[in-house]
Each structure stands twice: as structure tokens, then as C-alpha cells.
Structure 1
């Protein structure tokens, strides 16, 4: 247990994907076998997170609305669930989320009528990795498929913060849905737990997770 705590604190951790918000990059859904992902911290000791990275982070207060613990009240079972979360057999009992970084501190992100994609500093971002066709239809009166749902922004990301979006754009409660909070929906760098490097289970989905330069 001591070794596991040290590894999780300084090196990395295995997480279970519980939802479909990052399809098709990461697979997860209610009642199915979600991907187990390897998340490491070492990269961010040497450099800052960048747009295009897929990261696990702790949600701020506005992201915690509706979060419920799924741990058993039985202390023995709860202990087993906690141990299971260390190796990715059970989702952590924390409001940890996984999304892709779209913009960083000082940049302005938006998507308005006529935009060909989510825009950062007035330039379209790469969206080749998002789920197509979208999970849910988009009302053309209020949004577009290029925006992944309703129009939003412009939002200038505070320094030291990151704007997050899910690859399953129409099925992701990401930074767009928290724009009214004190961080304008963005996530402070200190809340980032690590970078998703690979899918390690199930065997049929083993592989690395791409981090394209989406602003190139």
C-alpha cells in the first residue's frame, strides 16, 4: 500500500473510464467494460500541459454539482473498492474527469455561427479526433456540429488555467457548461492529475493515446 501511494503521488496511476464523453478516443459507458488508462505525472514535471493533451483532472466546485460517492457503507467492501481503484478495477471515489485541453492561459476560445471548428485566437483547431457523426443532433438555431453543440464564447482563459472539451462533443459536460463559475469554466493547472499516455485494458484496445498539436 505504501508503494502504491508513492507511485500514485509522484509517478502515475491507472484510471477506469466510466462515461462516453471521450469517445472515440476513450471508451466508456454505463454498464459496459470501460477502458483502463495509464496516466503519468512525470511529463508535467519537465514541461507544462499543452493543447491537444488528454488529461485527468479534479473538477472545481462547479464541476462537483451532482457528483455522488458510489462507495459501499460496509467498511470492508469500501476498503476493497479503494484498493481496486488504485489499479483501475474501480473508478476512484473522486470527481476526477478526463478531457482534452483545447486552449491555455491567455488564449481566447470560441465557436460562433459560421466557424468551421472551435476557434482559438481566431484560428480553427484540429477536430479530426472528435466523434462523428455526433451522438446527439445539434439545433441549428443555437449551435452547429462544427461547434459540437451550442455556440459559445469568446472566453479568454485565465493564466495558469486550461479550457477542456470532450472528444464526444455533444455528450460532454466540459468547460462550455461551466462558463459562469469563478474560473470561467477552465481548470487550474494544479488540478491536473496527469497526462493520459495509453489504454492498457481491455486487450483489444491496447494502444497509445494521441496528443496532436491541435493549434498547428
Structure 2
């Protein structure tokens, strides 16, 4: 077979000048596909984090032994909203103001990257601006401690609290709070080491938390592996508590 090209012809052969542009187009196409896949993954992650679940890291001992330092939990964002918050639920909520001290520099590159990662859901949210406690009182409830038998009472009914860390009293300080409309009264399970509603009674709302500040209800511990498990609501604890009048 003879070569039909004329001497001096500019028609390239298989390894001619067009081979490199073809490879460049393939590389560009692959890059576009990678960017698209990453963008879709970020959007899905953001949607899941916004409407369904979000991960949180436990930095303190205020919820021991239920939750320990270093645990990571998944929080359902369906409550409050589509679902209601109940007495006994473990909730994550934004600081109502003055409950936490944040020493992180918000303008540092590291903090900005962490903030972006948390925002899109690629990193578990650190409770640097959030807290996690157990709901004891709903709007209208009167929560007090301590009764004649030393227990917390809700609407006058003493409650048994199996989730309180062993050896701790139901409360080291006396209190009586009627929960305002649209708020929750929360306590840590480690009562001797939890700066909860009891210690912010001088704040607006008497130390209660606006429901609008609640991110969601903790449902399961996902890390470390030896602590994976459901975070169940102790419904029997509040079974005899009447609704607020």
C-alpha cells in the first residue's frame, strides 16, 4: 500500500500534531467530570446536613456516662419541625448567649477551613458554638429540685433519672423554674459537672433554651466503634408527669 499524501502535505498522521490537542481535551473533560462529581457530592452533603442529619463531636464530660469526651453522635434535624421534642430527648442547641466561651480566632485560615467543612457536613460540628443536654422541661412545665426525697420534680411529680451519672445528686443547687412558651429546660447527665439551665437562671428566659436554637435530637453514637449505639429516650421516667396546665 502506498502513501497517498503528497510531499509537503499538512495532513497529520496518527502521531501528528493533533495527537497532543486530543489528549488535552480528554484531560480537560476528565477534570470537568471530577469537578462536577465533587460539586454534586458537596450539594448532597449540604442537603443531608441541612434537612436530615448532622454529626457532632462531644468535647466535655457534661453528659457522662451517656456520652463521653471524644464521642461522635448523629443528630436528627427533623425535630423540632416535622417531629416534636420530648422530655428525655438529648438535644444539640446553639448557645443562647453566655453559656460558652469561644477562644478560637474566627479569622484564622484553619478556623475558616473548619467552618467550611462543618457547614457542608464534611466535618463533624464541634460544640464550640453548640451544647448538648437532656430535655427535662417543656414549655409551661414547672421544674424544681429538690423535693422531700431529693429528686427533681416536673409539674410536682418526682422523677427517677437512670441516666444521671452514678454517685451524682439530682442537683447540687436548688431551683424552681416555670419554662416559658417556646423554650426548654435542659440538664446534663453529669449533674456535678454541667453548666446547664440551673446555672443561667439570671439570663433571659431564666436559663431555658429557645426551641428555635435547637439543631436537632441526638439519635445514635457513631464513634468510637466500641461505643456505637442508639441514644434512647427514657420514656418511663416522665410517664407519670402531667401536661402543664
- C-alpha spacing 1:115/1:68, structure 2 compared with 1 (3 Å): farther
Residues 49-102 of structure 1 deviation map (CA, whole Å, 9 limit, x = unaligned): 0100001001212324x23226682x2x3344235543455625x420000000
- Among residues 124, 130, 138, which one is paired with 1:96 in the alignment? 130
The answer (yes or no) to whether the contact 1:15–1:87 under 8 Å persists in 2 is no
Displacement after TM superposition at 1:6 (Å): 1.9
How many Å separate the matches in 2 of 1:35 and 1:70?
A: 24
- C-alpha spacing 1:89/1:55, structure 2 compared with 1 (3 Å): closer
Aligned pairs, number:
195
Displacement after TM superposition at 1:174 (Å): 0.2
Which residue number corresponds to residue 124 of structure 1?
A: 158
Which residue number corresponds to residue 32 of structure 2?
A: none
Larger relative contact order (CA 8 Å, sep ≥ 6)? 1
- Among residues 201, 204, 223, which one is paired with 1:201 in the alignment? 223
Write 1 or 2 for the structure with the bigger share of helix. Answer: 2
Which residue number corresponds to residue 111 of structure 2?
A: 78
- C-alpha spacing 1:67/1:115, structure 2 compared with 1 (3 Å): farther
Which residue number corresponds to residue 177 of structure 1?
A: 199
Unaligned runs of 5+ in 1: 29-33, 135-144
Unaligned runs of 5+ in 2: 1-41, 240-245
How many Å separate the matches in 1 of 2:234 and 2:132?
A: 16
Whether 1:67 aligns to 2:108 is: no
Residues 170-193 of structure 1 deviation map (CA, whole Å, 9 limit, x = unaligned): 000000001111111001111100
Which residue number corresponds to residue 20 of structure 2?
A: none
Write 1 or 2 for the structure with the bigger share of strand. Answer: 1
Show structure 1 runs of 4+ deviating over 4 A.
87-90
Report the structure number with the largest CA radius of gyration: 2
